[in-house]
Structure 1
């Protein structure tokens, strides 16, 4: 079932989500200061391409630096990415067929809000 849902996800726009996060990550990695943020974009890209069958967990040993980076991320971009995923989730939630996709967008929204100190794992 995960395979089928992931294929449908890719067809209806998952590839675009992946592409946006990869391009953003590559642009951020052009500077030394942007590398930690670029790595988080790559984490989001992986989840954005194949979200079904994956879960977000807290990373062991999360640091105060990660917390500060999350605050900076939220202020600069995280809130807007979070709101866009929530908006898309609301549109998908209007139909019964779209509910599984809405849940995946909420999962992406939560990771996009504060990605530092989180890991994406297979269920």
Structure 2
């Protein structure tokens, strides 16, 4: 079922969202200072193109630089990518089959706004605790 969901997601929204992240990453690579943003954008493109079966968790070793980087990210690239998710989610909500994909698209908005300090992991190895402490 997970593979079917990923294939449908890829066709309906994943490919176009991934192109947006790839363009944002290329734009970030233009300036040397923003290369970490480009790396984060490419990482998110891989997640956005095939999201089901994976999730994001907060990295415990992410420090103050992640917070500062996320603020700069929101100003430079994050709000555009979040807007892309809002529009794609709204378009997916038009059909009955697209409603779960629209909800999934809207769940990615916080990730598009605050990507630094997170890592993409399989759902089986994720914990529910935001600090990464297993139950």
Q: What is the TM-score with the length of structure 1 in the denominator? A: 0.87
| Structure 2: distance between partners of 1:27 and 1:80 | 13
Corresponding position of 1:103: 103
| Structure 2: distance between partners of 1:110 and 1:91 | 19
Q: Which runs of 5+ in 1 are unaligned?
A: none
Q: How well do the aligned residues superpose, as a CA RMSD in angstroms? A: 1.7
Structure 1 stretches of 4+ with a deviation exceeding 6 A read none
Change (3 A) 1:94 1:19: closer
* CA drift at 1:76: 2.0
* CA drift at 1:99: 2.4
| Structure 2: distance between partners of 1:8 and 1:32 | 36
* Pairs aligned (count): 123
- Report SS of the residue matched to 1:56: strand
* CA drift at 1:14: 1.5
Q: What is the TM-score with the length of structure 2 in the denominator? A: 0.80
- Report SS of the residue matched to 1:33: helix
Higher Rg = 2
* CA drift at 1:9: 1.3
